[in-house]
């Protein structure tokens, strides 16, 4: 009897084990099939990526061997000129082309930009524009503007650091509050109407009701700084990177930063948004900061062929991210804050939504 019971138990165990074994046997091929599918998908993705990279590598360079002009709308020696000359050799190597920097001052950069618009749209003529000057001129419908802001072919933004109101160390102005309270007329230096050194102070003066004026005729920021240090003009509103060396040397000092947040290089300098602004002033200040975000941007002819524009955008994306250009710019105190051409188009869309009160102030800068 005992033997019979043991036999039945062993038989039941054997039957149960067979069911488990069948389930395991069934799941193993399924798992193996899933793994094979995943591996196949991974291999397909890798092959597609490799093919895409190969296509990009084999894509013809439409600018190879060409002579490319990189134009700045001010004279030599200032920040725009320095940026262009830092970029030029890296762009030449990236495109396997010759790149020369041209200085074409006049009308706040409009002379240079209108010249570019008259050139063939083949990608061999580029301009490093002053975003606030050129952008403001388009928004204000300034005389001599032959383009719509959204029509330009945006290649890349190089930098868009904050702007700063600076004064000579011996000017007698110790703070921006001194400028607000003064009974004397504070003089800004500028190359002329349409230049950022004219447009931005104009908006600031109108927005805050400052007792100030603008003296024109200077060739660029380097020229203004020289006269400011000598005491022949009180101040300048300019990119902060153009002033840091002079701040460090003690020749000039910052009064106000046109930004939402303070800058680590001048942490004791208040920002525009820290001032006691009313609601309308806040709206105008925000619009001004949006315009300043266009910064130092490279543009090409509106009718540049798509393949050429993509080649230019790709080249700038590569060099602006390269350690070599970053090191070269740091050595000359010219920081980089790049945006792609597509991202710049987004900035332009924001600028085009500026309120009418801001546009009216812009018009006075031209």
CB-based contacts of 319, cutoff 8 Å, min separation 6: 87, 90, 91, 94, 325
What share of the chain in percent tops pLDDT 90? 73
Give the per-residue pLDDT at 15. Answer: 42
**Residues comprising the chain, all counted:** 366
pLDDT digits (tens, 9 = 90+) for 127-181: 999 998 899 999 999 888 989 999 999 999 999 989 999 999 999 999 999 999 9
| Residue environment code for 229-262, b if the CB has 16+ CB neighbours within 10 A, otherwise e | beeebbbbbbbbbbbbebbeeebbbbbbbbbeee
Class of domain 163-291 as given by CATH: alpha beta
The CATH 3.40.190.150 portion of the chain extends over 67-160+294-357
CB-based contacts of 32, cutoff 8 Å, min separation 6: none
- Residue 49, pLDDT above cutoff 60: no
* Sole residue written with tokens 């190089």: 158
- Residue 52, pLDDT above cutoff 80: no
Kindly state the average pLDDT of the residues 45-73: 74
- Residue 251, pLDDT above cutoff 60: yes
Tell me 243's DSSP state.
T
- Residue 59, pLDDT above cutoff 80: no
| pTM for the model | 0.75
The CATH 3.40.190.10 portion of the chain extends over 163-291
Phi/psi of residue 284, each to 5°? -70, -40
> By the 8 A CB rule, do 84 and 156 touch?
no
Kindly state the average pLDDT of the residues 312-319: 98
Give the per-residue pLDDT at 35. Answer: 59
pLDDT digits (tens, 9 = 90+) for 80-120: 999 999 999 999 999 999 999 999 998 889 999 999 999 99
Kindly state the average pLDDT of the residues 237-260: 95
* Helix, strand, or coil (residue 188): strand
Which CATH architecture describes the domain 67-160+294-357? 3-Layer(aba) Sandwich (3.40)
Tell me the CA distances in angstroms from 185 to 181, 200, 257, one per residue in order: 10, 17, 20
In the chain, beta strands by DSSP E: 67-72, 98-103, 125-130, 153-159, 163-168, 186-189, 212-215, 235-239, 252-258, 296-300, 339-340
């Amino acid at each position: 009897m005992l033997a019979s019971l043991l036999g039945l138990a062993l038989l039941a165990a054997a039957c149960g084990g067979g069911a488990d074994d069948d389930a395991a046997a069934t799941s193993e091929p399924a798992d193996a099939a899933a793994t094979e599918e995943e591996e196949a998908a991974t291999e397909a993705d890798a092959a597609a990526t490799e093919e895409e990279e190969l296509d990009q590598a084999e894509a013809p360079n439409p600018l190879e061997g060409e002579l490319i002009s990189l134009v700045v709308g001010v004279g030599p020696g200032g920040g725009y000129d320095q940026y262009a000359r830092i970029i030029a050799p890296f762009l030449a190597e990236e495109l396997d082309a010759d790149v020369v920097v041209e200085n074409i001052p006049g009308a706040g950069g409009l002379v240079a930009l209108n010249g570019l618009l008259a050139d063939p749209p083949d990608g061999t003529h580029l301009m490093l524009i002053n975003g606030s000057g050129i952008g403001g001129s388009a928004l204000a419908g300034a005389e001599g503007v032959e383009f719509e802001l959204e029509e330009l072919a945006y290649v890349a933004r190089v930098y868009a650091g904050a702007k700063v109101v600076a004064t000579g160390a011996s000017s007698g102005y110790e703070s921006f509050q001194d400028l607000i309270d003064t009974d004397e007329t504070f003089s800004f230096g500028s190359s002329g109407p349409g230049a950022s050194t004219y447009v931005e102070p104009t908006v600031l003066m109108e927005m805050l009701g400052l007792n100030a004026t603008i003296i024109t005729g200077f060739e660029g920021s380097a020229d203004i700084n020289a006269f400011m240090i000598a005491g022949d003009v009180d101040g300048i509103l300019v990119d902060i990177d153009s002033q840091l060396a002079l701040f460090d040397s003690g020749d000039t000092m910052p009064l106000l930063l046109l930004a939402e947040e303070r800058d680590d290089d001048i942490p004791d300098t208040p920002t525009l948004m820290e001032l006691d602004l009313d609601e309308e002033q806040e709206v105008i200040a925000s619009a001004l900061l949006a315009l300043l975000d266009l910064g130092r941007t490279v543009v090409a002819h509106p009718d540049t062929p798509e393949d050429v524009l993509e080649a230019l955008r790709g080249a700038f994306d590569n060099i602006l991210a390269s350690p070599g250009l970053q090191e070269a710019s740091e050595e000359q105190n010219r920081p980089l804050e790049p945006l792609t051409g597509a991202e710049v188009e987004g900035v332009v869309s924001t600028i085009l939504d500026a309120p009418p009160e801001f546009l009216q102030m812009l018009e006075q800068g031209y």
